[in-house]
Amino acid sequence: MNSKFKMFNKIDTVHGYCEECCEETIMVAIVSDFYRCVGCGFDLRQHINGSIKYLKLDESDKKWIKDNVNNG
Ligand SMILES: [Zn+2]
């Protein structure tokens, strides 16, 4: 089931491979395309290229999150 207008979901969780944990884990969306591993708290960027991967953030990703997400 696909929802075309996926707006204001309360909590969006996915199941994926965390590069930090090196295992399958649950991730919570923090903003569109960026997820946080519930196992280690690491932030990861969703990368879709045929298959979905969750990549460690580079400096520009971290800056983007800092600028766009208010984590206090
Ligand atoms: Zn992890």
| pLDDT tens digits, 22-36 | 999 999 999 889 999
The C-alpha atoms of residue 22 and residue 63 are separated, in whole angstroms, by: 24
What local confidence, expressed as pLDDT, does residue 6 receive?
A: 52
Q: What is the pLDDT of residues 33-52, one digit of tens each?
A: 999 999 999 999 999 999 99
pTM: 0.73
Cα(43) to centroid(ligand 1), Å:
8
What local confidence, expressed as pLDDT, does residue 11 receive?
A: 74
Cα(26) to centroid(ligand 1), Å:
8
Cα(39) to centroid(ligand 1), Å:
5
Q: Domain extents for the chain?
A: 13-68
The C-alpha atoms of residue 51 and residue 71 are separated, in whole angstroms, by: 29
Q: How many CB atoms lie within 10 A of CB 8?
A: 5
